[in-house]
């Protein structure tokens, strides 16, 4: 019998996908499993909403969580062995990387032998006291997101989104792979819509992934031709209210994401100062275990510093507090927006009015 999996994030698209899966399962007696990957960086409101979904829809959502504990000893040994030496790395240009993808002979010369014209970045040896501090602090925290960032010595970026694979896909695959290895095909219900991005617009509704040593997996995207408002309507049909974060001017409500918008960052700082305090603490921890920061390079910034004016030039601007200050400015990042500034003066405990990017407020 085919095993169906529905990924739950707490957002509108996964909620609508779950509702459609329930409808189909009721008609065809299909074996459905609902899964949620807890990255350690979800908002408490989202966690509460997933519990509400379980009660309202009458389903059980299995929670998976990445565990990086086994990788910390090797990382400590690498710091002790490598940080005292000079580090030389090729900084391949976009043109060089593009040519490597198309020309295998060039890729061997450039990537394996370093025989290209791209510059070499030299990181000096790290002082012994900073090495000792990094080794001492390289201890698992138990929070998947923070542990992942510590092991990488940085936070994910817009072009290096290792968080998706390490915190979401891999923990779920550890559940799905044994089923496929036993010869049972699976269908993955994915809440992706074509109007979200150009990359998703090119994805098919049905996609079969075959493998020589395990049963195939079918990627099913039932919402691919739907809109965001369609997703809310499907959930409403099942008596499911939207995640409350959508009523707080949030456009997406999965984990506290590096791709957060300027407005969403401002709302988060006003409504949930504890989230900002957590990120501020994480930036300090990752700084202490980052070779780049220890060598005098750029500091660890949770939100990519390139997103804001001056973020790459001034570490204070690129950090979370500098990003929040920028979120309270008008377009261009030069002048403070007076209305938003007055909101901030009300204090974090002030009750905020409902605001929604999807016109959900009554």
63-74 tens-digit pLDDT: 999 999 999 999
Span of 53-62, 109-118, 235-244 with lowest mean pLDDT:
109-118
Q: Where residue 211 falls among pLDDT bands split at 50, 70, 90? A: confident
Average pLDDT, the chain: 88
| Helices marked H in 160-205 | 162-163, 170-181, 198-201
Residue 171 has pLDDT above 80, yes or no: yes
Q: What does the pLDDT read at residue 115? A: 86
In the chain, residues under CATH classification 3.40.50.620 are 3-67+160-247
Span of 142-156, 311-325, 348-362 with lowest mean pLDDT:
348-362
Pairwise CA distance, residues 33 & 288, whole Å: 40
Residue 227 has pLDDT above 80, yes or no: yes
Asked if 40 and 143 count as a contact pair (C-beta separation under 8 A), the reply is yes
265: closest CA among 196, 205, 319, 214?
319
Share of the chain above pLDDT 90, in %: 59
Residue 355 has pLDDT above 90, yes or no: no
Q: What does the pLDDT read at residue 276? A: 94
Average pLDDT over residues 240-255: 90
Q: What does the pLDDT read at residue 338? A: 47
Q: What does the pLDDT read at residue 311? A: 62
Phi and psi torsions of 303, nearest 5°: -95, 130
Q: What does the pLDDT read at residue 129? A: 95
| Helices marked H in the chain | 12-28, 44-57, 72-82, 94-102, 104-107, 128-137, 144-152, 162-163, 170-181, 198-201, 228-237, 262-271, 273-288, 291-294, 315-318, 320-327, 338-345
Q: What does the pLDDT read at residue 349? A: 46
Bigger pLDDT: 310 vs 65: 65
Bigger pLDDT: 35 vs 312: 35
Average pLDDT over residues 320-326: 89
Average pLDDT over residues 121-138: 93
Q: Where residue 92 falls among pLDDT bands split at 50, 70, 90? A: confident
Average pLDDT over residues 278-306: 87
Pairwise CA distance, residues 287 & 21, whole Å: 43
Q: What does the pLDDT read at residue 77? A: 97
173: closest CA among 221, 211, 223?
211
Q: Where residue 313 falls among pLDDT bands split at 50, 70, 90? A: low
Q: Where residue 316 falls among pLDDT bands split at 50, 70, 90? A: low
Residue 253 has pLDDT above 90, yes or no: no
Q: What does the pLDDT read at residue 336? A: 56
Q: What does the pLDDT read at residue 332? A: 60
Share of the chain above pLDDT 70, in %: 91
Pairwise CA distance, residues 233 & 352, whole Å: 25
Average pLDDT over residues 78-88: 92
237: closest CA among 8, 19, 11?
19
pLDDT 10s digits, 254-279: 777 777 888 899 999 999 999 999 99
Residue 348 has pLDDT above 70, yes or no: no
58: closest CA among 246, 186, 240?
240
Q: What does the pLDDT read at residue 111? A: 82
Q: Which of 20-29, 177-186, 326-335 is modeled with the greatest confidence?
A: 177-186
The CATH number of 3-67+160-247 is 3.40.50.620
């Amino acid at each position: 019998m085919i095993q169906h999996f529905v990924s739950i994030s707490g957002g509108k698209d996964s909620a609508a996908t779950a509702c459609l899966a329930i409808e189909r399962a009721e008609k065809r007696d299909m074996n459905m499993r609902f899964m949620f990957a807890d990255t350690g960086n979800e908002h408490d409101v989202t966690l509460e909403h997933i519990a509400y979904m379980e009660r309202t829809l009458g389903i059980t959502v299995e929670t998976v969580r990445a565990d990086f504990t086994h990788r910390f000893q090797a990382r400590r040994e690498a710091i002790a062995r490598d940080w005292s030496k000079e580090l030389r790395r090729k900084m391949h240009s976009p043109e060089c990387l593009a040519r490597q993808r198309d020309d295998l002979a060039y890729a061997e010369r450039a990537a394996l032998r370093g025989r290209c014209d791209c510059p070499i970045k030299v990181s000096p040896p790290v002082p012994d006291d900073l090495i000792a501090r990094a080794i001492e602090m390289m201890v698992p925290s138990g929070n998947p997101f923070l542990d992942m960032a510590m092991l990488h010595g940085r936070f994910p970026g817009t072009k290096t989104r290792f968080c998706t694979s390490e915190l979401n896909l891999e923990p779920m695959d550890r559940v799905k792979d044994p089923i496929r290895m036993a010869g049972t095909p699976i269908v993955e219900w994915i809440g992706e819509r074509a109007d979200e991005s150009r990359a998703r617009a090119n994805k098919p509704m049905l996609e079969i992934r075959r493998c020589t040593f395990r049963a195939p997996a079918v990627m099913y995207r039932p919402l691919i031709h739907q809109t965001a408002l369609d997703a809310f309507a499907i959930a409403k049909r099942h008596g499911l209210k939207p995640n409350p974060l959508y009523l707080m001017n949030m456009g997406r409500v999965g984990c506290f994401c590096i791709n957060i918008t300027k407005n969403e960052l401002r709302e988060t700082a006003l409504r949930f100062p504890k989230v900002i305090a957590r990120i501020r603490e994480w930036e300090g921890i990752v700084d202490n275990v980052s070779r780049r920061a220890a060598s005098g390079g750029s500091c660890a910034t949770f939100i990519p510093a390139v997103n804001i004016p001056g973020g790459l030039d001034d570490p204070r601007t690129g950090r979370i507090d500098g990003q929040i200050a920028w979120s309270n400015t008008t377009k261009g990042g030069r002048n403070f927006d007076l209305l938003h500034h007055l909101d901030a003066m009300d204090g974090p405990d002030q009750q905020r009015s409902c605001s929604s990017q999807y016109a959900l407020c009554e």
